A and B are shown apart, each in its own frame.
Chain A
Amino acid sequence: SNPFEVKVNRQKFDILGRKTKNDVGLPGVSRSKAIKKRNQTLLKEYKEREKTNVFKDKRFGEYNTKITPEEKMIRRFTLERQQNYGKKNIYNLNEDEELTHYGQSLAEIEKLNDIVDSDSDTEERGALSAELTAAHFGGGGGLLRKKVSSEQQDEEEEKPKSRKELIEEMIAKSKQEKQERQTRRESALELTEKLDKDWKEIQTLIARKTPKSERKDKELEKPKPDEYDMIVRELGFEMKAKPSERLKTEEELAKEEQARLQKLEADRLRRMRGIDEQANEKRPSHMSADDLADGFILDKDDRRLLSYKDGKINIENEEEKEEEEGEEEEEEEEEEEDNDNEEESQEESAGEDEEDDAADSHSDLESDLESEEEAAGDKEEKKHKANENESQNVEKLDPKSEAAESELPYTFAVPESYETFKSLLSGRTIEQQLIILERVQKCNHPSLAVGNKAKLEKLFGFLLEYIGELAALDLPELRTIDKLVLPLYNLCQMFPEAASDSIKFILRDAAHDLEEVIEVKGRAAFPGLDTLIYLKIISLLFPTSDFWHPVVTPAFMYMSQLLTKCRITTLQDVIKGLFICCLFLEYVSLSRRFVPELINFLLGVLHVSLPKSRAQGYTVVHPFTPVGKNLELLFVCDKEDLKSWEKQNMPLSIVTRLKETSKTEINHIRLSCLALCFDLIKKCAALYESLPSFHEIMHPVRILLTQHVPVNEYPEKMQEWYHSALKELENKVKHYTPLICEKKKPVPLKQYTPKIVKVLEFGRKQAGSKKEQERKQLIQRHKRELKGAIREIRKDNQFLARMQLSEIMERDSARKRKVKELLGSLATQEGEWKAMKRKKWKS
C-alpha cells in the first residue's frame, strides 16, 4: 500500500525469533473502519433516539443466511398455506365454483380417493363423518353443500333455520359417536384390568414386582405413538447395551471400601487437629465437603442416596451396593427385554389391545425416571431379601406399609410453606410420611429441573421445624423423629450449606432467647425437649470432632451456656442437664477435648444427691450452690425405694411431664439419674486420662466420691456403678513431666545480596504463586480493557459531536439559503414594483 499511509512502530531492539504483531499500523484504514462501524451502529442509534416504534421484520428466514433463497421461498409458501388452511376466504369467489372432470365433481373424486387411502391407515380417521370434516376443516365439502342447498332452496325463506337444524343434527351425531367411543374404551379398560389381575397373579409366581400396572390405567388414554417412533425408541434402548464393568471380587470391594473409609477418617482427623489450616486451603477440598454441592452424586464410590422401599430403609453395606452397580445394568437390560417379551405375549393374547400395550411398555421406558428408579429399587429389595441377615435394619416389611405405598400418589410437589408441608404429612403414618418425603425428594431431584435445589433446601428447614414441633408436643413423638432423622440426613448430604444455615438459624434463635431471659431475670431455665433433640441431631449430621466447625462449634457454645447459666430447681432440670452432659461426651468422644462445664455439672449433680451437709474439700460452681434451693434434689432416703430400684432407661418424655408419677417412681428416677451420673464420670475419666492435669481436674469429684457419698446405703446395683466409676478414677498413674517450650526457630540474619528471581520469559513476572499470578493477570487485563473502553467511549463521543455539528451546519446553511431566496424574491418584487411606478410616472 501507499507508504505514506503506513505507520511503522520502530523496535528498539531486534530480538531473534520473536514474532511481532504490531510493527506496522495502518491508521487510515483502521480509522475508516471504525467510522464505518460507528455509522452502522452508533449513528443508527443516534438517529432513532427519540423513536419508540420499532420495525420488526417477521418475514420467515429473512436474515438467515443458511437457507438458500429457493428453500426460503418454499418454506414461506408452505407457511402461508398453513396459515390460511381452514380459514374461509370470503373474497375468493372461485372456491364456490365446482370443478368437474367428466361430469363428476373433482372434490367428490378426491374424497373417494382419500377414503381408499385411509382405509389402510387408521380406522379413526376413516370413522370421521363427512359432516364432521366439513364442520371442522371447512374444506370444499361444506361449501359445496352450501351451494347445493342454496340451489335447491333458493326460493325458500327459512334457509337460516335449516342451517340450525343441520348443526343440531351434527351435534347429536357427534355426541352419539362420543358415547360409543367411551363405551368401547371402557370395555377396553375392563379388559386391561382383567389382564392386569391375571398378570399380578402370575407375577407373584415370578416373584418380581412391576409397579407399572397402576400406571397402565392412567396412560391408556395417551395417544398411540407412530410405528416409526416405536422403532426409534427401541433402537435407542438397544444402544444402551454397553459392556458392563468387570465384576469386582469381594476382596477388591472390601479393600476399596476400606480405603474410602480410611480417607474419610484421615480427613476427619486432620480437621480435628485443626493445625494445618493453611495447608488445608491448598489441598483440593475434601470429599465430604462439596461432593454434593450441585446435588449430584459425582463419585461412583461415594455414598449414595438412601432409599426406602415399602417403608424399609435400604441401608446396605457399601459392598453390596458396588456389587450391584455392575449387575444392575445388565439386569436392567434383561428385565427390559423380559418386559418386552412378556408384553409381546400379552399382545398376542389380548388381541385388540396390542397397540395400547406396546405403547405402554414404551411410554414407561420413556425417560420416566421413576420407573427406572423403582426398578432399581426392586432389585435392591430383592438383593436385600437375599441377605437379610446381613442387612442392618430391623424393621419388618409389613403389609400395612405396602398398602400405604400403593395408595399414595407418586408425585409430590415440594411444599412452598411450612403449613403446606405439615398438611402433607399430617394424618399419615410414619411409613407413609417417609414414603412421601422420599417421593418428594425423587420427583424434585435437582438434576431434573432448575428450581428444585432451592425447593429441596427449603424442605430441609421444614423438616427440621416439623421435628421440633413433634418434640415440643405434650407427648413427644420420638419414634417418628427417630425415623425422620434419615431423610434429614439425606437432605443434609445433598445440601450441606443450606442445612448448616438452617440449623445455625435455629441455634441462634435458641441462644438469643436464652440471652434475653438471662438479661431480664438474671437466670434462665433449661430449654424444651425440641432444642435438646436439635442438639442431638447436630451430632448425627455433622462431624463433632472438628477443631472448628460452622455448626458444631456454636452448638458447643450453646450447650456450655446451658450448663452454666440455667438454674436447676427440679428433677427435670437435672435430667435435661444430664442429657446435655451426654451430648457433650458424645461430641468429644472422638476428639477427647476437655469440657470443664461437664465436670462441673457432674460434680454439682453429685452434690445435690447428698444429704444436707457443709461441703468439705470441694467447691461447686454455678449453677449449683453449696447452700440453697437445689440441695437434696437427688437425695433418696426411703429404704423401700432404695431396695426396689432397678436401673432402667429413662424415657425422654419425662422431660416434659413428670407430675403424675408417684413418689416411689420419682425416687427411682432420682436413682437412675445418679447411676447415669456415675457412668458419665467413668466415661469422663476414661476420656480425659491423657490430659496432663487429669488428677487436678478430677480432684473434687474424687473427694466427693470417696469421702461424702454414702455408698453403703445404696442398693447393690448402684454400688456397682459407683465402684466402676471410682476405679476408673483411681487407677490412673500420676505422671508429670516438666514443660519445655518449643525451640525458637533461628531468625535469619538480614542479608543484602540481591534477591534472585528466575526469569523464564522476558518481560513477564514470575514471582508469586499460581493464584497470585492469575490475579495479577486478571488485574492487568482489567486495566487494559478499562483503558480500551474509555478510549472507545471517547471516540464515540467525538463521533457524535461531529455528527451533531454537521447537522447544525446543514441546518444553518439551509436556513441561510432560504433567507437568501426570500430576500432575493422580495428584491425582485420590489424592483418590479419600482419599475412599474417609474413607467406610471413616465406615462
Chain B
Amino acid sequence: QLPTGLYKKVLVILHDSVLPYMNEPTLMMDFLTVAYGIGGAISLLALNGLFILIHQHNLEYPDFYKKLYSLLDPSIYHVKYRARFFHLTDLFLSSSHLPAYLVAAFIKRLSRLALTAPPEALLMIIPFICNLFRRHPACRVLVHRPGGPADMSEDPYVMEEEEPSQSRALESSLWEIQSLQNHYHPDVAKAAAVLNQSLSEMEDDISGLLELSAYELFDKEVKKKAVDVPLEFEQVRGLFGKRNDIFAEHFSLG
C-alpha cells in the first residue's frame, strides 16, 4: 500500500478536491474502507471521504458506529486533525434516531478520554457533550439519576468493551465531568459546572471551538484586564523557601 505520509496527504484533500470531480465516486469505496480500517490518524482522515460516500452516494457501511467508537482513544484530543474529526463526529451523532445506548456510550467514552485532554480540547468537548444531551434527552440519566442506588463500588461502564451496546454506559454517571469541575483552567471548570444544572434548550455552537489552540487560550488570558491583583501573603524566604516545598525535597540550588 501507500506510505503513511502520502496516505495522509491524499486523504486530507480527497474529500474536497477529488471526490466531487469523479464520475463514479463509489470507486473510492474500497480505498476508503481499507484506509478506515488501518487505525490511528489515517482512519480519522478517511472518515471524511467515507462520510461523503455514505451521505451522497448511498454507501451502506455495516457497523459504522462501532468502528467510530473504536477510533476513540486518548490520542484523539492531541492529534492535529482534531477539529476535522470532531466536526464529523458531531455530524454523525446529530441524528436523533440513534439509540440512546449508543450515544451514552459515546458520551461516556469521550468524557473518560477527556481526563487526559489538554484544556483547549476540553473547552470543545464539554459543549459537545452538552449538545449530545440536548439531542438525546434519554441520555440525561448520565447526569441525573434520582432513583439510583446510593452508592456503587465500581463504575458500571466498561471501557475496554468494543461493542457500544455492551458497554453498560446507560447505567453509569458522568463522574469524569464532575472531576473536570476541578480543572485548573477556570473556563473548563465553568463549562463542566454547566452539567450540574439542567441544560438550556438551545444547542451550543461548537464550530468556533473546534479550532481552538492552546496559544489562543493563553493569549486570551493574558489580555484580560484585571481590576486588582491579589498577592501572596506568605512571606517569601528564598526561592525554595515555602512551607513543604516540593522543590526543596528534590532539587538543590547550585
Measuring CB to CB, which residues of chain A are less than 8 angstroms from any residue of chain B? 261, 264, 267-268, 271, 274, 285-286, 288-290, 303, 306, 315, 392-393, 478-479, 481-483, 485-486, 488-489, 492-493, 496-497, 499-500, 504, 507-508, 511, 514-515, 533, 536-537, 539-543, 546-551, 553-554, 556-558, 560-561, 564-565, 579, 582, 585-589, 591-597, 599-600, 619, 621-622, 649-653, 672, 676, 679-680, 683, 691-697, 734-742, 744
A564-B229 CB under 8 A given contacts A558-B218, A621-B74: no
Stretch in contact with the other chain, from B51-59, B84-92, B240-248? B240-248
21 A-B residue contacts at CB 8 Å? A261-B233, A514-B215, A542-B232, A546-B230, A548-B186, A554-B221, A557-B214, A564-B118, A582-B246, A589-B244, A593-B183, A595-B183, A649-B251, A672-B250, A676-B250, A693-B175, A693-B176, A693-B179, A697-B179, A736-B173, A738-B173
Q: Which of A485, A496, A533, A557 contacts B236 (CB 8 A)?
A: A485
Complex CA gap A289/B226 in Å reads: 11
Decide if B230 touches A288 in the complex (CB within 8 Å). Answer: yes
- CB-nearest residue of chain B to A293: B228
| Bound-state Cα–Cα, A489 to B239, Å | 11
B66 at the binding interface (Cβ < 8 Å) = no
Considering the complex, give the chain B residue whose CB is closest to the CB of A492: B231
Pick from A303, A392, A564, A565 the residue with the most CB of B within 10 Å: A564
How many A-B pairs with Cβ below 8 Å?
255
Question: How many interface residues does chain B have, given as a range?
Answer: 35 or more
With a cutoff of 8 Å between Cβ atoms, the chain B residues found around residue A550 in the complex are 224, 226, 229
**Is residue B189 within 8 Å, beta carbon to beta carbon, of the partner chain?**
yes
| Chain B residues near A694 (CB-CB < 8 A) | 179
Query: Does more than half of chain A's interface fall in helix, strand or loop, or is it mixed?
Result: helix
Measured CB to CB, the nearest residue on chain B to A540 is: B236
Q: Are B197 and A744 in contact (CB under 8 A)?
A: yes
Residues of A within 8 A of B218 (CB): 511, 554, 557-558, 561
The CA-CA distance from A589 to B179 in the complex, in Å, is 16
Kindly state whether residue B178 has any CB partner on chain A within 8 Å. yes
In the complex, B60 has a CB within 8 A of chain A: no
Q: Considering the chains assembled together, what is the distance between the CA atoms of A37 and B171 in angstroms?
A: 88
| Cα distance, A414 to B33, chains bound together (Å) | 71
Contact A737–B230 (Cβ < 8 Å): no
CA–CA, A537 to B247, complex, Å? 12
Other-chain contact of B146, A557, A672, A740 (Cβ < 8 Å): A740
Taking CB as reference atom, which chain B residue is nearest A575?
B251
Of B1-9, B21-29, B42-50, B109-117, the one with at least 4 CB within 8 A of chain A: B109-117
Name the one of A483, A507, A592, A741 contacting B197, with C-beta atoms under 8 angstroms.
A741
Asked if B182 is at the interface of the complex by the 8 Å CB criterion, the answer is: yes
Distance (Å) between the CB of A667 and the closest chain B CB?
17
Q: Does B148 contact A (CB under 8 A)?
A: yes
A497-B229, A651-B253 known; A586-B221 Cβ under 8 A? no
Q: Check A588–B229 contact: CB distance below 8 A.
A: no
Contact in complex: B238, A482 (CB < 8 Å): yes
Given A679-B249, A679-B250, the answer on whether A596 and B232 have CB atoms closer than 8 Å is no
Q: Identify A691's interface contact among B174, B182, B239, CB under 8 A.
A: B182
Within 8 A of A (CB), among B177-207: 178-180, 182-186, 189, 195-198
**In-complex Cβ contact of A547 among B186, B231, B249 (8 A):** B186
Contacts of B30 in A (CB 8 A): none
- Once the chains bind, are B252 and A652 in contact (CB under 8 Å)? yes
Tell whether B68 is near chain A: CB-to-CB under 8 Å. Answer: no
